[in-house]
Chain A
Amino acid sequence: MDRSLTFEHELAAMLPRLRRFAHTLSRNGSDADDLTQAAIERALRSRAQWQPGTRLDSWLFRIMRNLWIDTARSRSRKEKFETPVEELEQLGEDPRDAIEASLELQRVMAAMERLPDEQREVVALILIEGFGYRETAEMLDLPIGTVSSRLVRGRTALLALVGM
């Protein structure tokens, strides 16, 4: 099979996970999809840098995380605390379940949004995406001890924020 087509197929298969990671980093669904779109475009432009046989997910997540840093961190604090008008994400067959799932997602995203960026990304990668400490440290170019201490602070703050 043509190598570029293989790449596109694998990228397409990764879309749900890329969207999920984007939602863990972004303040709302439309920002998350903008981030996903930007990551797809950058991945396609940089596809020559990806080595077949290595993990595509880490490579894509790294691209997305770098884009997020470029855009989200330059945003003003003011904008950050404006309440965004959020469309309900279509998340299931049963409309009642779908609405409940969507509201729950918004609640959790709002709590994640209040974490400092450097804590949010480790919480997202380890607690939600299921990467190990070492993989996360490599993806973020950080010492493993830094990842571990940011994770402690992030999840402790999050527990207080979601009121559990």
Chain B
Amino acid sequence: MVTDEIFFAWLDGELDPQEAERVAAEVASDDKLTERAKRHSAMQTRLKGSFESLLDAAVPEPLLVAVHTPEPEIIDFAAAQRSREARAWAPLPRWAALAATLAVGIFAGTMVPRATTAPLDVQGGKVYAAAALNEALDTQLASAPGGDIRIGLTFRDQTGTICRSFVQTAASGLACRSGGRWHLRGLFATPEGQAETYRMAGGTNPTLAALIDSTMVGEPLTADQERSAQALAWH
């Protein structure tokens, strides 16, 4: 006599070999048990198959963001930060050290984060890509010709984070994924009179090149790898 518990433990591969053999023989000699085993196996296959589709489905962006969201900042600090941001570019010195030539002056009027179309956005002391720059980083492949903004290289840093260099007429820079956004690690002015050359060459500003060198681990992503990374929301 096979109890329900033993029957299903056998079906689930939970019995030791000797007992499994005994139950297998009993099931084989009993049409009702054989039929029951078939129906339950079929149900489990269907059950697993239905939920399996979720493993291949794209993970919703808010969940990806939640994984990389830093601890909330202390409120007083955040408030102070906001009031400084409202005044101007206070957080800039934080990464200004990266830049030999800082593009703030160049971008006055075009890149200062004032309107919603400004390509930079300052939050919590960090500079993020916004508007057209954000869209180019999100959607443009390095191989694509691109418009005003051209993507140079896409690669991973030592933590596996995706980084992309970009070139615009007046400036070039490097942005890396952080909390579902593009965090600017460096922004450099293009030397006067060389804008078009720089843009066409994919950004050869020596300071940017040095920053890329010190950030990149391994080789730049190929076009195919870049597309895959894009499909995974740049993870």
Contacts and interface: CB of A to CB of B under 8 A. Distances in A.
**Chain B interface bracket (under 10, 10 to 19, 20 to 34, 35 or more):** 35 or more
Interface string B165-183: 0000000000000000000
Interface in A2-53: 2, 5, 8-9, 11-12, 15-17, 19-20, 23-24, 33, 36-37, 40-41, 44
Interface string B38-77: 0110111011111111111111101110111100000000
B40 A105 contact: no
Given A90-B57, A152-B5, A164 B14 contact: no
A145 B107 CA distance: 69
A133 interface: yes
B52 to A, nearest CB: 8
Contact of B12 (A104, A133, A149): A133
Contact of A37 (B8, B50, B52, B66): B66
A76 to B, nearest CB: 27
B235 interface: yes
Contacts of B67: 8, 11-12, 15, 40, 44
Contact of A24 (B42, B51, B56, B57): B51
Nearest to A5: B159
B39 A89 contact: no
Given A11-B67, A15-B63, A133-B12, A91 B54 contact: yes
Given A1-B158, A20-B51, A133-B9, A108 B63 contact: no
Given A127-B48, A148-B9, A16 B54 contact: yes
Contacts, number: 115
Given A33-B60, A33-B63, A164 B51 contact: no
A126 B13 CA distance: 11
Given A33-B60, A37-B62, A162-B46, A155 B39 contact: no
Interface string A92-119: 1000000001101101110000000000
B4 interface: yes
Nearest to B7: A152
Interface of B: 4-5, 8-9, 12, 14, 39-40, 42-44, 46-60, 62-64, 66-69, 158-160, 235
Interface of A: 1-2, 5, 8-9, 11-12, 15-17, 19-20, 23-24, 33, 36-37, 40-41, 44, 89-92, 101-102, 104-105, 107-109, 123, 126-128, 132-133, 145, 148-149, 151-152, 155-156, 158-159, 162, 164
